Structure 1
Amino acid sequence: MKKIAVNILIISLFALTNVVCAQRIIPPSDELKIEGMVKTVLKFSLKDLEQFPTQPIKDLEIVNHNGEFKGVAKQLRGFPLKNLLDKIEFAVEKPKELNEYYLCLVATDGYKVVFSWNEIFNTEIGDQIFIITEKEGKKLAETDERILAVSASDLKIGRRYIKGLSTIKVNKTD
Structure 2
Amino acid sequence: MGEPSTAVRVDGAVNAPRAFDVAALKKLVAHDTGPVDVVCASGATVGKVDNFRGVRLTDVIDAAGVKLEGHRDARRMVVVARATDGYVVTFSWNELYNTPVGKDVLVAWERDGKPLEPREGQLLLISGKDIQTGPRHVRQLSEIEIVRMR
Decide: shared fold, TM above 0.5. Answer: yes
Tell me what 2:91 maps to. 115
1:91 aligns with 2:67: yes
The equivalent position to 2:28 in structure 1, one of 48, 52, 63, is: 52
Q: Which one of 94, 109, 114 corresponds to residue 133 of structure 1?
A: 109
* CA contact 2:33–2:104 (8 Å) conserved in 1: no
Q: Is the 8 A contact 2:25 2:55 kept in 1?
A: no
Distance 1:135 1:60 in 2: 11
Identity %: 28
Instruction: Tell me how far apart the structure 2 counterparts of residues 85 and 111 of structure 1 sit (CA, whole Å).
Output: 20
Amino acid at match of 2:52: L
Q: Report the counterpart of residue 17 of structure 2 in structure 1.
A: 41
Residue 14 (structure 1) aligns with: none
Report the structure, 1 or 2, having the larger helix content: 1
Contact 1:60 1:73 survives alignment (8 Å) = yes
Quote how far apart the aligned CAs of 1:81 are. 1.2
Q: Which runs of 5+ in 2 are unaligned?
A: none
Count, aligned residues: 148
Could you list the runs of 5+ residues in structure 1 that have no partner in the other structure? 1-24
Query: Runs ≥4 in structure 1, deviation > 6 angstroms?
Result: none
CA offsets per residue over residues 9-53 of structure 1, 9 Å max, x none?
xxxxxxxxxxxxxxxx35321011011111211111121112222
Write out aligned runs for 1:51-70 (5 A).
Answer: 51-70=27-46
Q: Which has the higher contact order (CA 8 A, sep 6+)?
A: 2
Q: CA RMSD, aligned part only?
A: 1.5
> Please, what TM-score do these two structures have when normalized by structure 1?
0.79
